[in-house]
Amino acid sequence: MDEENYKAARAEIVPVPCVFEKAILAARVRCSKAKKMNLAQREVVRCAGSECQTRCQAWLQIMREKSRFALQLDSLENVSVPLPHGKEMRVQVGGIEGLSAVLAAKAPETESGLADVFAMLDAGFAQYGSLAYLPFSELVKAVAHCRVRRS
């Protein structure tokens, strides 16, 4: 299957792709609203709905903006341009791990031991009421200390 056919098939089979796909496929986080699927010997992750995807996209966008200094990005770089893989993984994994640490007492436990993205964001909204009030200084510290590769 050539790349153009793959992209067309992916768009048809995965109408709402998960924005945490990289971190989920790397087995660093999980999401109760995500479903893994196989397509042409590749694994893809589908989101349960566009509302969930929109909320995750908004959270990741804010995390990317707040983490610019920690990721050593030029302040003039366009935030809408995709980050390199390693930096995107640090934002996704570090951000959710940081939120999990901040919400330690209120975060639901998972059987896999991995943070559930949907549950973490729900708990964050329940405790802080809005994206604007999340403790970004703590979350950015987690992004800065996040190591993508496990030793």
What pLDDT digit, counting tens, does each position of 94-119 carry? 999 999 999 875 555 556 678 899 99
If one compares 146 and 151, the residue with the highest pLDDT of the two is 146
Structure-block tokens of residue 118? 């949907």
Is it the case that residue 77 has pLDDT exceeding 80? no
Q: Is residue 151 part of a domain?
A: no
**Is there a domain that residue 54 lies in?**
yes
Checking if the pLDDT of 22 tops 90, the result is yes
Report pLDDT for 80: 63
Locate the DSSP E strands across 2-108. 34-39, 42-47
Q: How would residue 74 be classed by pLDDT, with cut points 50, 70 and 90? A: confident
Q: Is residue 30 part of a domain?
A: yes
Q: Whole domain around residue 8: which residue ranges?
A: 3-145
pLDDT of the residue at 25 = 94
Closest listed residue to residue 146, CA positions, set 83, 88, 59: 88
Q: Is the dihedral of CA 49, 35, 46, 78 positive or negative?
A: positive
Q: Structurally, how many domains does the chain consist of?
A: 1
115 lies in some domain: yes
